[in-house]
């Protein structure tokens, strides 16, 4: 299984180094046939070469690799983050990775930020539409940089795009014995685009009579994620709302450094990355939490059909939390690389 590794920028490099150690260890322990190839695409590479992603980059990712692992992209030296748009959003769009799969699973009660809540209350998955919405950059600026400036940024919702992410959410629920799917939109205010979400959700829900389909406006969802997250099993929403609620999800898991994700197109080369960004102030200081990245490598293995390896990795991360072999963001006193080393040693034992 050939894996493209794009460490990227900032703490992306720090956490990817640990996920790579873990993948190499899994290869030794279970014989998973993993071949990692490192790609240098990043702010550094862009500033040196003027290239964000080479012209054949997307084809290469799609045709030469079984999966992609990404650290994070974003660097203050590239103020418009053109490279991040080309590499990360570019891969999502060009590889048509329409289902952004973001599990929100608390691994230990001690990490829960909510009073009197624990593992039983924080265990759901979010499916974020990943190829349209406000992310498509349709629009423009008129009279830019004048007092008369007009800035238009359209939200694109297509029947195909909305239908396939909602179907994916229901199919995931059915395949995993889950009984509830909640769709969040803003159809009270966004009466064109989100009417489409309403219509499609009702149609698809009717095909799954055993699954309880519910709807929330996104503002209410944000509130209930904090007040009563235990009610959720599967949440499906659009690109922007999914971005925002999965940072709340990160906090529910103990912090953004714990959150993992997969950008999926079932049956095709998919991309796995922690939910967090490049956190420039923490970069290169051996302080970033590598667990979100390591858990993303587990999601990657699960998607590649190596469920047992994925479970082993998750168990090793859980053991590290119990042993308090953790970084400062979740209350520990270890560095990024010490946490990775501990998890590797646990896997090998």
x-marked contacts with ligand IPM along 55-94 as a string, rule CB under 6 A:
-----------------------------x---xx-----
Taking a C-beta distance cutoff of 8 angstroms, is the pair 274, 265 a contact? Answer: no
Spatial distance between the Cα atoms of 123 and 137, rounded to a whole number of angstroms = 33
Is there binding between residue 53 and ligand NAD (CB under 6 A)? no
Cα–Cα distance for residue pair 256/141, rounded to 1 Å: 33
- Per rule CB under 6 A, is residue 26 in the interface with ligand IPM? no
> Could you tell me how many residues of this chain bind Mn ion (CB under 5 A)?
1
Separation CA 274–CA 12 (nearest Å) = 9
Among 81, 130, 237, 303, binds ligand NAD (CB under 6 A): 81
Q: Given CA atoms 169, 175, 178, 180 in this order, what sign does their dihedral have?
A: positive
Site for ligand IPM in 271-290 (CB under 6 A): 275, 277
Cβ-contact 86, 288 below 8 angstroms:
no
Tokens of 19: 């996920």
Residue from 105, 180, 186, 212 carrying the catalytic annotation: 186
Select which of 13, 135, 309, 329 is catalytic: 135
In degrees to the nearest 10, what's the CA dihedral of 243, 248, 250, 251? Answer: 160
Q: Select the binding partner of residue 165 from Mn ion, ligand NAD, ligand IPM, none (C-beta < 5 to 8 A, by kind).
A: none
- Which one, 19 or 84, has the nearer CB to ligand IPM? 84
Q: Using CB under 6 A, which residues numbered 324 to 343 contact ligand NAD?
A: 329
- Catalytic status, residue 59: no
Nearest CA-CA partner of 222 in 243, 206, 201, 205: 243
Helix or strand run (H / E) with residue 67: strand 67-72
Annotation says 75 is catalytic: no
243: annotated active-site residue: yes
Q: Which of 25, 53, 72, 252 lies at the binding interface for ligand NAD (CB under 6 A)?
A: 72
Residue 132 binding ligand IPM, by CB under 6 A: no
Decide if 44 is catalytic: no
Ranges of H-type helices in the chain: 11-30, 43-49, 57-64, 82-84, 90-94, 159-175, 193-206, 218-227, 239-252, 291-303, 307-322, 336-348
Residues contributing to the site for Mn ion (CB under 5 A): 243
Residues contributing to the site for ligand NAD (CB under 6 A): 11, 15, 72-74, 81, 84, 88, 256-257, 273, 276-279, 282, 288-289, 292, 329
Q: Which residues are catalytic?
A: 135, 186, 219, 243, 247
């Amino acid at each position: 299984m050939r894996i493209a590794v794009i460490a990227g920028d900032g703490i992306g490099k720090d956490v990817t180094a640990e996920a790579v150690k873990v993948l190499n260890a899994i290869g030794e322990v279970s014989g998973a046939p993993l071949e990692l190839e490192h790609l240098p695409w990043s702010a550094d590479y862009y500033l040196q070469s003027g290239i964000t992603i080479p012209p054949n980059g997307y084809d290469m990712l799609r045709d030469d690799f079984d999966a992609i692992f990404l650290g994070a992209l974003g660097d203050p030296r590239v103020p418009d983050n053109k490279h991040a748009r080309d590499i990360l959003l570019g891969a999502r769009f060009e590889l048509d990775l329409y289902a952004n799969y973001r599990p929100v699973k608390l691994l230990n009660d001690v990490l829960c930020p909510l009073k009197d809540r624990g593992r039983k209350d924080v265990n759901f998955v979010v499916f974020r539409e990943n190829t349209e919405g406000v992310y498509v950059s349709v629009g423009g600026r008129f009279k830019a940089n004048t007092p008369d400036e007009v800035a238009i940024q359209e939200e694109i919702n297509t029947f195909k795009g909305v239908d396939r992410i909602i179907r994916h959410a229901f199919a995931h629920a059915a395949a995993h014995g889950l009984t509830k799917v909640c769709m969040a939109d803003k159809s009270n205010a966004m009466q064109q685009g989100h009417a489409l979400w309403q219509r499609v959700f009702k149609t698809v829900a009717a095909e799954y009579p055993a699954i309880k389909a519910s709807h929330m406006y996104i503002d209410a969802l944000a509130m209930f994620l904090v007040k009563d997250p235990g009610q959720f099993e599967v949440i499906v929403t659009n690109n922007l709302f999914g971005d925002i609620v999965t940072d709340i999800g990160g906090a529910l898991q103990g912090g953004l450094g714990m959150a993992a994700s997969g950008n999926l197109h079932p049956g095709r080369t998919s991309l796995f990355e922690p939910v967090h960004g490049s956190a420039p102030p923490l970069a290169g200081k051996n302080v970033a939490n590598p667990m979100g990245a390591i858990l993303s490598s587990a999601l990657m293995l699960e998607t590649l059909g190596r469920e047992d390896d994925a479970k082993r990795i998750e168990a090793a991360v859980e053991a590290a939390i119990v042993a308090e072999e953790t970084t400062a963001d979740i209350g520990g006193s270890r560095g990024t690389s010490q946490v990775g080393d501990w998890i590797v040693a646990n896997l090998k034992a």
